[in-house]
Amino acid sequence: MMELQRTAVVLCAFIWAVCSYAFAQDLSPQKPDVHRERYAQASEAHYIKGLEHASEGKFEEAEKQFRIALDINEFHSDARKSLKMLEEFNQGKLERTYVLTTFMNRLLNVKLQKIEQRLGAVEKRIQPLTRQRENIDTKIHDVQLDIDRKLFRLERDIDEIERDIDLLEGRISR
């Protein structure tokens, strides 16, 4: 009975150690990076939505989006600058046309950056395909050369056989 109790205690300790290890792995340093990235993406999405509203002259909606972006990521400097610009506009320090143009410019720049990122990702995916295509083209060229060489040899062999037959025919007819 005592041996059974010791085995049970050892088994429980082992299970506890395995569970502790698994729990520690789940809280590994990689997890916060994933969450940080998601927060950054969410914050950026609200910032962009704010730019869209602001470039359309919907400044109250824009302000809400910029504030949400800052609530998610308090270090989002572009959202902070945009709020400051709206504040200065509301105080009469900036003209409406200037504010609209500035927000439209920022929105277009953000969209261009996203396009460049997407293009970069596409180029990275295409590069291996391009190399594979080049390898295939090289193989096709090599096969064509090999076929040409073999055909030349076959043609030469056939010519030689025809000469041998001509010689035989010449000997037979004499």
pLDDT tens for the chain, 174 residues: list them: 566 566 655 555 566 655 555 544 444 444 457 778 888 899 999 999 999 999 999 999 999 999 999 999 999 999 999 999 999 999 999 999 999 999 999 999 999 889 889 888 888 888 887 888 888 888 888 888 888 888 888 889 888 999 999 998 888 887
Q: Look at residue 124 and give its three-state secondary structure.
A: helix
Distances (CA, A) of 25 to 11, 20, 95, 159, 166: 21, 9, 54, 76, 85
pLDDT, position 26? 46
Q: How many domains are there within the chain?
A: 1
47 within a domain of the structure (yes/no): yes
What's this model's pTM, rounded to 2 decimal places?
0.58
pLDDT, position 82? 97
pLDDT, position 104? 93
75 within a domain of the structure (yes/no): yes
Range of the domain at 37: 2-126
48 within a domain of the structure (yes/no): yes
> Could you tell me which of 144, 132, 114 has the C-alpha nearest to residue 44?
114
Report the run of H or E that residue 90 belongs to, with start and end: helix 77-90
How far is the C-alpha of 55 from the C-alpha of 46, rounded, in Å?
14
65 within a domain of the structure (yes/no): yes
158 within a domain of the structure (yes/no): no
41 within a domain of the structure (yes/no): yes
pLDDT, position 15? 67
pLDDT, position 127? 81
